[in-house]
A and B are shown apart, each in its own frame.
Chain A
Amino acid sequence: METPRAIVHFDLDAFYCSVELLRHPELKEKPLVVGGRAEQRGVVAAASYKAREYGIHSAMSMYRAQQLCRELVILPMQRNHYQMYSRIIMGILQSAAPKIEPVSIDEAYLDFTPTVHEWHDVLERVKDIQLRIRRDLGLPNSVGIATNKMVAKIASDFNKPNGFTVVEPGRETEFLAPLAVSKIPGIGPKMTQRLQTLGIERVKDLAQVPVEDLTQQFGKWGRGMAEWARGIDNRPVESVREAKSMSQERTFSRDVHDPEELDAWLDRMSTELGTQLRKEGLMAFTIQIKIRYPDFTTFTRQMTLGSATAEPAMIRHSARILLGRIWEPGTPVRLLGVGCRNFTNGVGQLNLPGLQ
């Protein structure tokens, strides 16, 4: 038999609120939400566990949240702050696991398969990470450990906050059986309703429906659901994000023909691009530029580097070379852009797996 994969879903509990509590520890016992003000038609972006006791949840209108709880403490979003913590945590995860796929600011999948001799070895490793982030950074988090992404994700949600849920290899269907079908990511409220009309409420009900019937009813979704219900999910943890690009471009208020001015723009856009890349924890292999002339003809040129970069100087250098290839000095330019794609997350230099 193939050795089972060791996949972890890592999820920070009420992340924005947890970060705010680090800044305002005195609010610990208070129902707390982060989000926009009610007067400005704001919504709840995150609710602390105390606030959830009142039935408040994210995406609820702030007006409604205030109705539910009179002494609700509302803090405005401090996105930079949350991003900073997120970067630190993703850095910790990255150095701890051989492969990490960040899903959002507060969530990531980790794949420990290549570095564990026995499947159960992963448990200690994850316990360490969880403790480190909870104790050293003061941020509660929940983890699900399983043999694939879907089960790991459901497991991490199983016992929040500070959850540590393990679904051992071979136990996937047993774990999923009693759960409501809506627990499966990918089965939304609409689908849940449709399944309900067919008498399918729990995952075990879904698992009993023959694959053919589901495919007939729901097309390719049916096949997917049949697999999910049986605890099967072969998606790899992907550290390289694909088919994405980032760019900076400027349409000038008047056409620019001065090489120095264009160069200054390249410089500025490269710096912005570098900052953006670092914010996302990405490096790019391919740098491209775009140029549009007053008659709206547009050209792009690109160059692929030997190793990925997030370095503004490197981006600028490449962009200059590219500009030299398509721009005749003195020709007026209407728009200039610098972009990059072909990303790899983290650095080109790889880390020793599991060294943390």
Chain B
Amino acid sequence: MQFTLEKSALQTGVQKIIKVSPTRSTMPILNHILFTIENGRLYLRTSDIEITYVLEVDLLNGEDGSVAIPARLLQEITNELPETELKFSVDEKQRISLETTVGTYKIQGRPGDEFPETPELADASTFKLPADLLERMVDKTLFAVGRDELKPALMGVLFEINKADIRAVATDGHRLVRFTNKAFTNSGDPAKVIIPTKFLQLLQNLLPMEDQVEFSISNDHVKVETKGAKVYTRVIDEHYPDYTAVIPSGNDKTFVSNTSEMVNTARRVSIFSNRTTHQLAFKLHPGYLEVYTEDPENSTSAKEEVLVEYDGEEMTIGYNSLYVRDLLRNIETEKVVFKLSSAVGPGIILPEKQREKEDLLMLLMPIRLNA
């Protein structure tokens, strides 16, 4: 098998797909990139079993066949090479010779058929999705996914594809984000799927390049296809908890504040909070909010006041400052709305005004303060 391609084409391709190949694996084949030439077109493939990434790369010429080439070696040499044509020759024992204008390199490859197959998506439902919408759904929710392996269902984002809207939900049990787009319509069947975090992180790198992506969901896999690239992932086959039951309806202590002022205050005050608990206290007064923290361990404390629109009774509530900052970062409007119930109940955080055809809702559980 022989083939030739531009160094820059290969380098860009390798950079993209190497993100999938595991750094340590019990299956040595997974530390390779599979090169397949079919009908004169070159496809690179990486896999960590959960995720498979297939990318088409421009080929100058080559004959059909396949070989698996060690991924890191390939990455390192393509990064170091000057702009050149790369000529690969592979013998029947998968010994690879890479000829360039600056030199010749020998690599031991592996037979292409050792590489795991791309998943078959049986009975998949497929629909088109604007790439910027998918990107936005991921951006708005991914930060809130869980990392606790005892709660596998929460280690991904729930996608709900309905007839007239599409929704993404993420929660780690302490906070929750629900993002809905109502401009979306789907003529196919409604579907629900939990997509693993790693796959969505990968999408973030992949997405902005196309207007439309094709999204396919089968029982056990999801595939996202853009021009020249297909990414597959196994889905999280768990029952996602009923998040609708968690969203409170009776939160009547509402305050509105300037988003960037809140962000700045939270950032400054949290510098003085305890490194382990990241605890901030919000003391709500009519017209203003006191944000304060105390860390007896390091004898530090901080207090700031922010003007807010609020005319309810005084209340004090504790939050993890990291969570507060994450959630505020997700607010794009000038003002942010907090709807609270009590010092131990979930608070709702909303943008002052939703974007057209969009609904963003976030929940945050407090930290129990010492009475």
> Quick one: which of B296, B363, B368 contacts A344, CB cutoff 8 A?
B368
> Quick one: which of B150, B151, B277, B346 contacts A348, CB cutoff 8 A?
B277
Identity of the chain B residue whose Cβ is nearest the Cβ of A350 in the assembled complex: B365
B176 touching A352 by the CB < 8 A rule? yes
- Interface segment among A68-76, A178-186, A210-218, A302-310: the answer is A302-310
A311 within 8 A of B: yes
Interface size on A, residues (CB 8 A): 30
B370 within 8 A of A: yes
A-B contacts counted at CB < 8 A amount to: 93
Residues of A close to B346: CB separation below 8 A: 352-353
User: A351 CA to B150 CA in the complex, in Å?
Assistant: 15
Q: Known contacts A305-B370, A307-B370, A321-B296; decide if A351 and B365 are in contact (CB<8 Å).
A: yes
B297 touching A351 by the CB < 8 A rule? no
- Interface segment among B14-22, B23-31, B119-127, B240-248: the answer is B240-248
B276 touching A313 by the CB < 8 A rule? yes
> Quick one: which of A88, A305, A306, A354 contacts B150, CB cutoff 8 A?
A88
Identity of the chain B residue whose Cβ is nearest the Cβ of A286 in the assembled complex: B370
User: A277 CA to B257 CA in the complex, in Å?
Assistant: 39
B294 touching A306 by the CB < 8 A rule? yes
B370 touching A321 by the CB < 8 A rule? no
B-side interface mostly: loop
Give B293 Cβ to nearest chain A Cβ, in Å.
Answer: 7
B183 within 8 A of A: no
Residues of B close to A114: CB separation below 8 A: 345
Give A310 Cβ to nearest chain B Cβ, in Å.
Answer: 10
User: A353 CA to B318 CA in the complex, in Å?
Assistant: 17
User: A151 CA to B57 CA in the complex, in Å?
Assistant: 69
A306 touching B171 by the CB < 8 A rule? no
Residues of A close to B281: CB separation below 8 A: 306
User: A115 CA to B250 CA in the complex, in Å?
Assistant: 12
B174 within 8 A of A: yes
Give A137 Cβ to nearest chain B Cβ, in Å.
Answer: 11
User: A307 CA to B150 CA in the complex, in Å?
Assistant: 25
Give B4 Cβ to nearest chain A Cβ, in Å.
Answer: 54
Give A50 Cβ to nearest chain B Cβ, in Å.
Answer: 31
User: A349 CA to B296 CA in the complex, in Å?
Assistant: 18
Identity of the chain B residue whose Cβ is nearest the Cβ of A346 in the assembled complex: B368
> Quick one: which of A115, A321, A350, A353 contacts B368, CB cutoff 8 A?
A350
> Quick one: which of A115, A285, A314, A355 contacts B173, CB cutoff 8 A?
A355
Give B228 Cβ to nearest chain A Cβ, in Å.
Answer: 40
B241 touching A355 by the CB < 8 A rule? yes
Q: Known contacts A306-B296, A309-B276, A311-B276; decide if A91 and B320 are in contact (CB<8 Å).
A: no
Residue among A115, A306, A342, A349 having the largest count of chain B Cβ atoms under 10 Å: A306
Give A274 Cβ to nearest chain B Cβ, in Å.
Answer: 11
A307 touching B279 by the CB < 8 A rule? yes
| Chain B 137-157 near chain A by CB (<8 Å), digits 1 or 0 | 000000000000011000000
A-side interface mostly: mixed
Interface size on B, residues (CB 8 A): 36
A67 within 8 A of B: no
A37 within 8 A of B: no
| Chain B 291-329 near chain A by CB (<8 Å), digits 1 or 0 | 001111111000000000000000000101000000000
A355 touching B243 by the CB < 8 A rule? yes
B274 touching A115 by the CB < 8 A rule? no
Identity of the chain B residue whose Cβ is nearest the Cβ of A348 in the assembled complex: B367
| Residues of A126-162 whose CB lies within 8 A of B | none
Give B197 Cβ to nearest chain A Cβ, in Å.
Answer: 18
Give B368 Cβ to nearest chain A Cβ, in Å.
Answer: 5
Q: Known contacts A306-B295, A306-B369, A355-B243; decide if A349 and B174 are in contact (CB<8 Å).
A: yes
Residues of B close to A173: CB separation below 8 A: none
> Quick one: which of B150, B246, B276 contacts A353, CB cutoff 8 A?
B246
B366 within 8 A of A: yes
B73 within 8 A of A: no
B77 within 8 A of A: no
| Residues of B346-371 whose CB lies within 8 A of A | 346, 363, 365-370
Residues of B close to A313: CB separation below 8 A: 276
Residues of B close to A285: CB separation below 8 A: 370
Identity of the chain B residue whose Cβ is nearest the Cβ of A128 in the assembled complex: B239
Residues of A close to B164: CB separation below 8 A: none
B344 within 8 A of A: yes
> Quick one: which of B174, B243, B318 contacts A307, CB cutoff 8 A?
B318
Beyond A306-B279, A318-B296, A355-B176, 7 additional pairs, beta carbon < 8 A = A91-B150, A308-B368, A321-B297, A348-B368, A349-B365, A352-B363, A354-B245
Between-chain CB contacts (< 8 Å), 6 pairs: A303-B296, A306-B294, A309-B276, A352-B176, A352-B246, A356-B151
**A residues neighboring B (CB under 8 Å):** 88, 91, 95, 114-115, 285, 303-309, 311, 313-314, 317-318, 321, 342, 344, 348-356
**B residues neighboring A (CB under 8 Å):** 150-151, 171, 173-176, 241-243, 245-246, 274, 276-277, 279, 281, 293-299, 318, 320, 344-346, 363, 365-370
